[in-house]
């Protein structure tokens, strides 16, 4: 996988895993440049809203219009993150995979968001291992309690 | 307006206004008891993801299942907050008003969320005044840049 921004998202996911957290990372790019990156912090900060994409936007702060941005995520966004992408009019989402979680692709596409799924084995493997090891944390993260 | 939890949401909105922020507040109730409340912090913390509802969930932390919860907001949730409500399976939303912002009511209802709009003049007035005074901050908050 040669895309430098997806590589940054993957680095963030691995960082989260090394901290005992959920291995999902994200990067925000504006006008072709990295603005911010982040990762899931449910475990690290006891925080249900800091999915990878949300932590990335949290770290980005107030960047003005999102119309020239692309958001990267190692996993297909859930409804929270997809709703955020739709509300802030982020026009393009590039994800690492959607095999371990189908997410809200259709919802984003219905609202005009372009969604590209790179279907990367390294992202699939990372999530499969995590879900097998900590299924209860994963189920909590996606509201399946 | 006698609902104590909506009163808490309105107190939060007024607190935000007194801090120079956007006057939207929220409260989360589980099994009939207040778990947390919060308010929009875009201005106060330079943070685009902390809408009132998101700050409230941020403050609540990991509460386990949301199936016995109700979330209150002084304003109809946007797609970010509505997506969060859908993803975490919060079954009921009680809002102060939707006259100043229509929000994502239909999306929530399509996903089985019960939405009650109290249409409170005090909430409408608070938002109308804010939008008239700081239209650029409001447009930024809802992604209309």
Residue A86 to residue A107: CA distance in whole angstroms:
9
Among B53, B106, B114, B144, the one annotated catalytic: B53
Section B90-107 average pLDDT: 98
Residue B126 to residue B102: CA distance in whole angstroms:
16
Closest partner residue to A64 among B65, B104, B145, by Cβ?
B145
Is A136 labeled as catalytic in the residue annotation?
no
SS3 A94: strand
Section A128-142 average pLDDT: 97
Task: Kindly determine whether residue A80 and residue B61, on different chains, have CB atoms separated by under 8 Å.
Answer: no
Report ipTM for this prediction: 0.96
Section A94-118 average pLDDT: 98
- What pLDDT score does B115 carry? 98
Section B31-46 average pLDDT: 97
- For residue B116, give every residue at least 6 positions away whose Cβ sits within 8 Å of its Cβ, in sequence order, or none: B92, B93, B94, B95
- Chain B nearest C-alpha distance from A144 (Å): 8
- Chain A nearest C-alpha distance from B87 (Å): 5
Closest to B6 measured CA to CA, from B28, B30, B21, B23: B28
pLDDT tens string A44-75? 999 999 999 999 999 999 999 999 999 999 99
Given pLDDT bands bounded at 50, 70 and 90, which one contains residue B13? very high
- What pLDDT score does A145 carry? 86
- Contact residues, chain A, for B145 at CB < 8 Å: 64-67
Closest partner residue to A61 among B46, B57, B145, by Cβ?
B46
Residue A77 to residue B68: CA distance in whole angstroms:
25
Average pLDDT for chain A: 97
- Contact residues, chain A, for B83 at CB < 8 Å: 78-84, 86, 104, 107
Task: Go through A9-31 and write b for each residue having 16 or more CB atoms within 10 A of its CB, e for each that does not.
Answer: bbebbbbbbeeebbbbbbbbbbe
Give the DSSP H/E element, type plus range, for residue B145: none
- What pLDDT score does B1 carry? 59
- What pLDDT score does B2 carry? 64
Task: Kindly determine whether residue B87 and residue A78, on different chains, have CB atoms separated by under 8 Å.
Answer: yes
Residue B3 to residue A135: CA distance in whole angstroms:
38
CB pairs under 8 A between A and B: 92
Closest partner residue to B83 among A48, A60, A84, by Cβ?
A84
Residue B103 to residue A89: CA distance in whole angstroms:
14
pLDDT tens string B44-66? 999 999 999 999 999 999 999 99
- Chain B nearest C-alpha distance from A67 (Å): 8
Query: Does the pLDDT value for residue A2 go beyond 90?
Result: no
Q: What is the Rg, in whole angstroms, of the alpha carbon atoms belonging to chain B?
A: 14
Task: Kindly determine whether residue B49 and residue A57, on different chains, have CB atoms separated by under 8 Å.
Answer: yes
- What pLDDT score does A52 carry? 98
Query: Does the pLDDT value for residue A42 go beyond 80?
Result: yes
User: Any long-range contacts for A5-8 (C-beta under 8 Å, 24+ apart)?
Assistant: A5/A29, A5/A34, A5/A70, A5/A72, A5/A94, A6/A72, A6/A74, A6/A94, A6/A96, A6/A118, A6/A120, A8/A34, A8/A37, A8/A72
- Chain B nearest C-alpha distance from A42 (Å): 8
Residue A59 to residue B47: CA distance in whole angstroms:
8
pLDDT tens string A82-91? 999 999 999 9
- Computed from CA positions of residues A131, A53, A26, A91, in that sequence, does the dihedral angle turn out positive or negative? positive
Among A4, A53, A114, A140, the one annotated catalytic: A53
- What pLDDT score does B145 carry? 86
Closest partner residue to A80 among B47, B65, B87, by Cβ?
B87
Query: Whole-model pTM?
Result: 0.97
Section B91-108 average pLDDT: 98
Q: State the best of A24, A87, A90 to mutate against chain B, taking most chain B CBs within 10 Å.
A: A87
Given pLDDT bands bounded at 50, 70 and 90, which one contains residue A31? very high
């Amino acid at each position: 996988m040669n895309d430098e921004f997806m590589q940054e998202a993957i680095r963030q996911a691995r960082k989260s895993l090394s901290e005992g957290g959920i291995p999902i990372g994200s990067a925000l790019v504006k006008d072709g440049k990295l603005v911010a990156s982040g990762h899931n912090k449910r475990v690290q900060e006891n925080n249900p809203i800091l999915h990878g994409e949300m932590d990335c936007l949290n770290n980005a702060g107030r960047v003005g219009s999102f119309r020239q941005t692309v958001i990267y995520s190692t996993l297909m966004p859930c409804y929270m993150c997809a709703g955020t992408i739709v509300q802030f009019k982020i026009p393009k989402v590039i994800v690492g995979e959607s095999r371990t979680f189908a997410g809200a692709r259709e919802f984003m596409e219905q609202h005009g968001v372009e969604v590209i799924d790179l279907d990367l084995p390294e992202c699939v493997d990372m999530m499969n291992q995590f879900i097998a090891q900590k299924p209860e944390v994963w189920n909590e993260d996606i509201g399946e309690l």
